[in-house]
Structure 1
Amino acid sequence: MAELDTTKLLAARYRAAADRPYLASALYALTVVPSDEVPTMGVDRHWRCYVSPGFVERTPVAELAAVWMHEVAHLLRDHHGRADLLPPADRCDRLRVNVAQDCEINDDLVADGLPLPAGRLEPRLFGLPEGQLFEVYLAALPLSPLAHDCGSGAHGQPAPWEVDGGTGPAGVGAVEAEALRRHTAEAMRAHVRARGTLPGGWKRWADEVLEPTVDWRQALAGAVREAAAWASGAVDYTYRRPSRRSAALRGVVLPSLRRPLPRVAVVIDTSGSMGEPEIGAALAEVTGVLREVGIRGNRVSVLACDADVQAVSRVTSAEQITLEGGGGTDMRVGIAAALSAPERPGVVIVLTDGRTPWPDETPSCRLIAVLVGPSAPAAPPWAETVRVTG
């Protein structure tokens, strides 16, 4: 193997860390492994960085610094973990996956003014827009894109030049890797506060690491299940099925305890500002969960409401919704109508864009506010809130 110019390589890493200090901890966590088999530089899942001595010799320090940042970006963005979640048909084409991942990274590096070596892969080479995740680029790439292999730290599958995990140099474990990602994201936030600039892709990544987006469908399903379980926790007595203790008392019939299914009222905001696709998706999730826990039919009422209650119906699917704009929005009217029904609900679910007044007092039931749209104002603190973001 040719001798590696370690001084030049480490000088390039120092330059990368000095120019982009928020990446310093991640850059210095990489373990260098010289290899004649790797074409340029690459990384494995364990944060080992494989380096071609010939590539280091012929590449200027400024470009080497940019390649250091490129490779550590694969690991920080957890490209191998995300690649593991791809469908098998996509996962088996590791080089195409790698090209999509390079497109995700390089548009940020180029926008940041970094001098990547010639032949870099960018979205514009494939007629694609900048600023997308690699999963989006992958679906739009041709079947045989330019081949490039950054290693298992990118596409998730061992490259021919990687050492065995048990015999190679010590790497970074999963727990430490997550700590490095969070530390880097916090350093990026601090950098923005101090200097006000950061490539858009890195800013979005840092926001997602520090404030991960919760899948609203899971959150809504969990809230509905929990509320239904809470409401059905109330017990009542019934003589329809006498208690087994009646046998011990001659001539006395004792009632047995039962745990009834709760009634559920769904109040739908039908004002003109509501989006039918979003409200339809939210209602579909609600009705699906209610059916799953055994609540359906006449135990679920749906109230269409803008500034007044327009209709009380048995809407069970998104196709049955007709959203017609009214003169205003006041979900208090819908909530009051639901609670004044002859058979009072134990759970009230309000689907709204949040631009509504709310009751001054906490309702005497479980209330879930499903806020539709990213700019929906907050619901009162006494309401359980789920945000539908799209």
Structure 2
Amino acid sequence: MGKLLAARLHAVKVRPYLADALFALHIVEDRSVPTMAVDAYWRCYVSPGFVARMPLEELAGVWVHEVSHLLRDHHGRGERFAREHEESGPGEGSGPGEAGESVAPGESVAPGMSPADGRRRLRRNIAADFEINDDIFGDGLPRPAGAAVPSLLRLPEGLLMEEYLRTASLAALPVELAWLDCGSGADGQARPWELGPDGAHGLTRQQRDAVRFRVAEGIKGRPGDAPDGWRRWADEAFHPPQPWRHLLGAAVRSAVGAPGVGENHSYRRPSRRSAGVPGVVLPSLRRTPPRVCVVIDTSGSVSDAELGGALLEVAAIARAVGGRRDLVSVISCDAAAGVAVPLCRAESMELIGGGGTDLRSGFARALRSRPGPDVIVALTDGQTPWPSAQPPCRTVVGLFPRPADAVDENDPDYVPDAPPPWARVVTIG
């Protein structure tokens, strides 16, 4: 046990940004564990024989390897991949342990686990190892002999577990890796030696999230100490990609449903308050379907694929306002605005442009249309000047993503203005 704790201290010394996670692991000694393994509740199961024969620095690397599975949520991601793909990735359903229910030479199957389940477990474990082993070794942590790295299957480094699962064939897995077993913390499948959710010394979901948060904040606070893979993880750990199509639809629905949008006074049905004012007929406030004008950036900086995506968004916008295509119009705009075209079929609408960009003319054209729009939606890459005054209607801006270091070829010092604060902004893609 002393050697194991010394190895953990060495891991903390060479990877200080992982200290909170390494000290959060609870050690469980168990001779039935092949090497070292973790479960989803942050228990680390250790074989005394494995510890005795491993050099201390390599043992420190195993500490970092196992805690990396938990920080990157490989157990949860493995289970989600299995549900979404129904275990039908490349190599599933074929090769040893699948069709013939036989096991590869040297491969062990846990009690209660079928050979097919054993092959799936091994495949997920190896894919998870590929994701983390390409950047955790070196700088004080020598790579142990037999560590699973993407080059074993001639795969590129830097991919995620899910990408390796989609591209790696089971039939190509080396027999030498059959011993691998990092526990359910690596693939989501429980092992006989694990204590389970009701066992002692397990961390709750809140405690596990707190550990991940502290590690992510430590990496972002001192970015020079961590490799690129860990910095990307820290940036995305608690800021997952947003479902932009849902956000855009919600932004449009919020705009068209705001107080005052599509509301007007009408004498077709007198107000009930007229009874309190004899001899006077008061109009009632009636809600009419809102009108939406979509201004599409058709300048040369917007690709054909993005224009095709813009047309799909126009169709989605029409659905967001109740399917009333007659209330949605589209304006093509580069340096000058085209005519506001009523939406009949967005898929067959022609977008004209290809020059410079000035969406101010598109906004002006939209506001001149009669009847005027209740909402203006601008789909653009953001390389445009914006109106100096807030339009008298709600505004939603859908931004095509651009690299942070993108520049204007004609003016390298040009920095585009950010969308105005009065617009609801959603990044597309």
Q: TM-score, length-normalised on structure 1?
A: 0.89
Matched, 1:119 2:159: no
Q: Deviations over 1:30-76 (max 9, x none)?
A: 00011122111111111000111111111111111001001101111
- 310-319 or 55-64, which deviates more: 310-319
Matched, 1:176 2:207: yes
Question: What pairs up with 1:1-390 in 2 under 5 angstroms?
Answer: 6-88=1-83, 89-90=86-87, 93-110=120-137, 114-144=141-171, 145=173, 146-147=177-178, 148-166=180-198, 168-192=199-223, 196-209=224-237, 211-230=239-258, 233-241=261-269, 255-315=283-343, 319-320=347-348, 322=350, 325-375=353-403, 377=416, 378-388=418-428, 390=429
Distance 1:86 1:240 in 2: 57
Compute the displacement of 1:87 (Å).
4.2
Q: Deviations over 1:152-173 (max 9, x none)?
A: 212122122212332x321211
- 8 Å CA contact 2:17–2:225 kept in 1: the answer is no
Distance 2:423 2:282 in 1: 39
Pair 1:231–1:266, CA change in 2 (3 A): farther
Q: Aligned partner of 2:127: which letter?
A: A
- 8 Å CA contact 1:272–1:323 kept in 2: the answer is no
Distance 2:285 2:259 in 1: 16
Q: Deviations over 1:162-192 (max 9, x none)?
A: 12332x3212111111111111112112332
Q: Helix, strand or coil for the counterpart of 1:257? A: strand
- 8 Å CA contact 2:296–2:310 kept in 1: the answer is no
Q: Aligned partner of 2:18: which letter?
A: L
Distance 2:345 2:164 in 1: 34
- 8 Å CA contact 1:224–1:290 kept in 2: the answer is no
Unaligned segments of structure 2, at least 5 residues: 89-116, 405-415
Distance 1:90 1:113 in 2: 38
- 252-261 or 145-154, which deviates more: 252-261
Corresponding residue for residue 106 of structure 2: none
Compute the displacement of 1:249 (Å).
10
Q: Helix, strand or coil for the counterpart of 1:154? A: helix
Distance 1:335 1:111 in 2: 56
Pair 1:234–1:289, CA change in 2 (3 A): closer
Q: Aligned partner of 2:30: which letter?
A: S
Q: Helix, strand or coil for the counterpart of 1:205? A: helix
Distance 1:249 1:157 in 2: 74
Pair 1:90–1:110, CA change in 2 (3 A): farther
Compute the displacement of 1:248 (Å).
10
- 8 Å CA contact 1:279–1:351 kept in 2: the answer is no
Unaligned segments of structure 1, at least 5 residues: 1-5
Pair 1:43–1:282, CA change in 2 (3 A): farther
Compute the displacement of 1:332 (Å).
0.3
Q: Helix, strand or coil for the counterpart of 1:153? A: helix
- 8 Å CA contact 1:27–1:72 kept in 2: the answer is yes
Compute the displacement of 1:243 (Å).
5.7
- Percent identical residues: 52
Q: Helix, strand or coil for the counterpart of 1:350? A: strand
- 245-254 or 116-125, which deviates more: 245-254
Distance 2:357 2:213 in 1: 42
- 8 Å CA contact 2:334–2:354 kept in 1: the answer is yes
- 8 Å CA contact 1:30–1:49 kept in 2: the answer is yes
Distance 2:348 2:325 in 1: 15
- 8 Å CA contact 1:232–1:261 kept in 2: the answer is no
Compute the displacement of 1:281 (Å).
2.7
Please tell me the root mean square deviation across aligned C-alpha atoms, in Å. Answer: 2.6
Distance 2:140 2:301 in 1: 42
| Matched length | 380
Corresponding residue for residue 91 of structure 2: none
Pair 1:243–1:87, CA change in 2 (3 A): farther
Q: Helix, strand or coil for the counterpart of 1:49? A: strand
Distance 2:265 2:352 in 1: 44
Q: Helix, strand or coil for the counterpart of 1:236? A: strand
- 137-146 or 60-69, which deviates more: 137-146
Pair 1:36–1:285, CA change in 2 (3 A): farther
Q: TM-score, length-normalised on structure 2?
A: 0.81
- 280-289 or 223-232, which deviates more: 280-289
Q: Helix, strand or coil for the counterpart of 2:293? A: strand
